[in-house]
Every structure is written in structure tokens, then in C-alpha cells.
Chains A and B, each alone.
Chain A
Amino acid sequence: MIKMKGVTKVYTMGEVTFSALKGIDLDIRTGEYVGIVGPSGSGKSTLMNIIGCLDIPTDGDFHLDGRPVGTLSSNDLADIRNKKIGFVFQAFNLLPYATAFENVEVPLLFAGMKGKQRRARVIEVLLRVGLADKIGNKPTEMSGGEMQRVAIARALANEPEIILADEPTGNLDSKSGAEIVRIFESLREAGKTILIITHDVNIAKGTERIIRLKDGLIESNGDML
């Protein structure tokens, strides 16, 4: 599903350059549940952004589902983000003026799904994350756990094969965090490929494989906690 060979990422700011990834080799199979851990600045988020097609590598090969990502147009990348990948961010990243329903509806609208089918799909995924009663609520009217569940529902809306989560419980209390962990476990059981950046031991324990990054390189691949 995800194959990387010698992937590097160098950021240039004026005359200063910074190598966030220094040559990553990675192979993630369909249906794997992978945890990515490492200290701050180790390159976890950069790796996640590249896998999620939010950023492009400076060098190296990256194939997603057999397609060479480096050769794809911006519209192709947008379609991959829309249909193949679901993002869950630490800061939720919901549209503040939109209701839970509308937030979940956005990726379906970009996918061109028609009205009736789209509405049914939004309700289905909101039910799946236990938010049937919050459909009309805006983010300001929801708790952190509820917002993250809306974000997960949004990530699931187009039935993507891959879920990328960057510290999904980082901004939540332990009870809400536990609820999110349970949702991820159910997604794993449903056969999704899941990559989670986390410092949460409870999440990391549940993964099949841990990839540990340090200074832009993979320090270990496949360790268990």
C-alpha cells in the first residue's frame, strides 16, 4: 500500500536549510495498524504529511497503492486525499462556521456525491462515531472528544483505505482519549490501514508495528513497546 525508498525532505528558509527526513525506506501493507513514535523534531509529522500527499518529498521514491506520487498533478493528489486518505489532526481542524453535519459533508461534496446519498452517508458515519444527537452542533458547541469524533467521521466519509492520525488524543482528557482509541480499534477490525503518530502509550500498545524516528531517520521499525 505505502512504499518509500530513500525519501528525503529538506526545508529551505532563506539561506537556512533543514533536513526533516534524511532517507526513509518504508513498506506498509494494506490493513496494517502502525504507530509512529519519536521525539519532537524527529520527522514524524513530515513523514505523515508526505504519506498523506499534503507535501512532496525533496528526493526519493514514494509509491502509494502502486502509483508514483512524485509524478502526479495537484488535482490527482487532491483526489487521492479525498478518496484514499482520511486525516485526523490533533487540533481537529474542523470548519468553525459549519455544523457537525456540514463538516462531515465537505469531503463528500468534493467527491461529487449527490444530495440524498450524501446526506444518508453523513448520518451513517456520525452514527458510527456516536454523534447522532450532535448533527446540528457547531464546533464551539461541542467538547474536545466530540470534535475529534466529528473529525474521525469526516475522515471516514469517503470510506478511505488509509487513515492518518497525528496525535489524535493529544488535546483530549483521558476519558475522551479512551473513546477515540476504541474507535480506532474498531476501524482496524474493519480492515483499514491506519498510521498514528502518538505519544499515547495506550494507542501505541494497540498497534501492530511501531516505527521509531530520530533525527529524520528510522531508528527502529517493528519494535513493540
Chain B
Amino acid sequence: MIPLLSVKQFFNDLRRQKLRSLMTMFGIFWGACSIVLLFAFGKGITEAQLKSMRGMGENIAIFWPGITAKDFQGLPKGRRVRPTEEDIVLIKQKARSINRISPEYQRWSINFRYGKQSTIRQISGIWPEFGPMRNVTPRMGSRFINDKDITDRRRVIFIGNLLAEDLFGEVGPVGKEVLLNGTPFMVVGVMKTKKQDSSYSGRDSRKGFIPATTFQTMYSNRHLNCFVAQCKPTSSMEITRKEIYEILGAKYRFDPTDREALSVWDTTRSFAFLKNFFLAFNMFLVGIGVATLITGAIGVTNIMNVVLEERTKEIGIKMALGAHKSFILWQFVFETLLITGVGGALGFAFAWTIVALVPMFNLEEYIGVPSVDMWSGITVTIVLGIVGLGAGVFPARRAANLQPVQALKLF
């Protein structure tokens, strides 16, 4: 009703009580700043962890040979189930929920040599699907193992970025020849650096990958060390797993419900757990921020009560001049919202500045990349609105319910 006069009165009070006003706003400033920072850093850490988890691949499961634990069709338990490359072809043909699948042969203690440099590392024999499925992405100017490599049983190798550094140093490895236990292989690609905090046989950055067919030719392995399957985004790993158990169960005659027939690491479960964990972690952080903001709001309520005491006579004057209760109520609520609004906006801006400066300190490995997003803005706005109204309504109601004669202190 009288916004200009109310604003004038607000700034007059602000000027008269500089320290008090600043301290009141600081409570809100700090609360808003805390929420935004906790949101931003929580998000940064979560993203970093999930990215790291995705480093090994998304929606994948690794299957190892196992031993049956149930009697089935007259056959005793305790039989070994050892899948072969033909089984992977069979699964690929039959399992509808599968997006990608690749066998994996593994061999350790391979001597890698380039010129005078040599190192002992592991190699895996795989299919081309292995790369995109396991986030093994080639650097610019290089490639992963392809179908032609498989069909022609080529002696080509794709190497991890750290293995490339160990062997080649500053030299570009692509097109160079590297000796694997004395057998020459041409390097066709180097892995793009990735964050990977989990693995089942060492980090991809220190491994070499060769075509599965070449591996079989060289080492005559019939049985796989393991195979990796990726379910379609529209399906789930539980369905994929069931399909694989049914296909292999029919072939090797084991009970499809016999979980021990194959060992499985379903990474989607770990991923879901991690997601839920970080959701709870972020809610906890935001809870701390909200609690800080509420503490600030209690400060605002206290100050507004003091303001009410100071202004009682002014309220009385306005009532004597015809102010309705609603005017007095809204004047107090307006002032509280202004304090929380200004304090909150400054807190948001300060937090945003900190978040913008963080990348300068190269802490990405530890805390990820914190960022202020729309949701933290919406949360802060909603919480500030509730806090502002909550802090303002009680003193405002007290003020509005004063009798004019009491407010004017005329008796």
C-alpha cells in the first residue's frame, strides 16, 4: 500500500542501526552461502565419484566361470562352467536385453618392449564392442580394435595411456611396433585418459588390448577368463543376467537359478548404491545449510521483535491515521523479506564467486568440479521465502494485533 514510505523507513532503520542490520543480514547471508556451497561441492564430489565409477563402464556386468551349487537333471552339483567364445556368440544372438557383449582372455606378465624401454604388463584379448562398453576410448588420431582386426587375426595392439608413457615417453606410439614377449605388434591406438576407481584386473591405463582371435591363435586358450555384458538402457542387468543363465544353463545343463554357476559383478548395483549414498549425502549437506539458514532466521525474528518494540509508537501513529491491520502486518513481513532477500542474494553471489574461483586451484581430482545449478537457486529461493515469511510473521502479527491506544502508549 505504501511501499515507498516503508522502504524509506526500512533504510532509515538500516542507517541508524548499521551494525545490528549487518549482523542480521549476515545470518541470512551465511545460511544462503552455506546452502549454495554445500549444494555445489556436494554435486561436484558426487559427479566426480560417479564419473570415476563410470570409468569402468556403464550398465555392465562381468561374468567369470563358476562351479554349480545345485543338482540338475540327474547331474551332480560341483561341476565347472567355463564359457567359450562360441558361447558369447550364442548369447549375443539370443539375449534380447543385451546391448553389447565381449569375451575377455587375459594374460599377465607380458614383456612389452619398445627400443630399449621395456615393462611387464597384462594383455586382454577382446572384441571391438569392449571399447565403448568399458569406456576405453581412443585418443585423437588413433583407433580401437576393429572387426577387420578380428577376422584377419591381426597382430595389432591398443595400449593404455600410462603404458604408452612408460614405453614411448614423448614419442607418438601409433604406427610403432612394440614387442610382446618378442612377438611384434603394431600400435593402432592409445587410450584417452579417464578416471577409473574400480577394476577387476588392474587399471585399463596400464594394459594392452589385442583382438580376441589373435590372442587365441597365440596362446591357444579355449576358455575365457571372463566376459563383459552391457544391458540395453531400456532394460536391466537383472533381466540380462537371467537370460545369460538360461542360455548357458541350457547348454551346460545347470539350473538357471543356480547363482554359483557363474560369478557375477553387477556394476549397476554398485552404481545404484553409490547414487543413493550420494543422494543421502547431499541431502545431509543441504540439511546442514538449511539449519544454518534457520539459525539466521531466528536472529531475524529476534531483531524484528526488537524493531517492533522500537517502532510501537510509530505503529500507533499509523493506526491513529487510519492504517488497517493488514498494512502493519505486511510492512513487517515486507521488511523481513527484504532483509532475507538482500542477505540471501549476497550469500548466493558470494558462494557463486567462490565456486567460480575453485577451478583455479586444481583440486578437481579431490573434489570434482563444484557448480551452482538451477536447483540450488530454486532451493535457496524457496527456503529463503519460507524462512523470511516464518521470521516475519510472528513479530508482524504481534504488531498488527496491537490496540492503537496501547501502541501510542496513551494510557
Contact = CB atoms under 8 A, between A and B. Distances in A.
A74 B5 contact: no
A111 B411 CA distance: 27
B1 interface: yes
Contacts, number: 80
Interface string B307-338: 00000011011111111110100000000000
B16 to A, nearest CB: 9
A45 B409 CA distance: 11
Given A78-B319, A81-B322, A55 B5 contact: no
A89 B321 CA distance: 12
B332 to A, nearest CB: 16
Contact of B320 (A52, A79, A105): A52
A98 interface: yes
A82 interface: yes
Contact of A78 (B322, B408, B410): B322
B251 interface: no
Contacts of B327: 110
A74 B325 contact: yes
Interface in B9-42: 9, 12
B2 interface: yes
Contacts of A154: 321
B291 interface: no
A93 interface: yes
Interface string B399-411: 0000111001011
Given A93-B317, A95-B317, A97-B12, A78 B324 contact: yes
A54 interface: yes
Contacts of B325: 74-75, 78
What DSSP secondary structure best describes chain B's contact surface? helix
Contact of A49 (B2, B314, B317, B411): B411
A76 B310 CA distance: 27
B408 A93 contact: yes
Given A46-B411, A98-B5, A110-B327, A55 B321 contact: no
B322 A11 contact: no
A223 to B, nearest CB: 26
A97 B313 CA distance: 13
A163 B53 CA distance: 81
Nearest to B11: A97
Contacts of A72: none
A149 interface: no
Contact of A20 (B316, B403, B411): B411
Nearest to A158: B322
B116 interface: no
Given A20-B411, A54-B408, A110 B5 contact: no
Given A75-B325, A93-B313, A45 B410 contact: yes
4 smallest CB-CB distances across A and B, nearest first, come from A82-B322, A97-B12, A110-B322, A55-B405
18 contacts: A11-B411, A45-B410, A46-B411, A54-B319, A54-B320, A54-B403, A74-B324, A75-B324, A78-B324, A87-B320, A93-B316, A97-B9, A105-B5, A106-B2, A107-B322, A109-B2, A110-B324, A110-B327
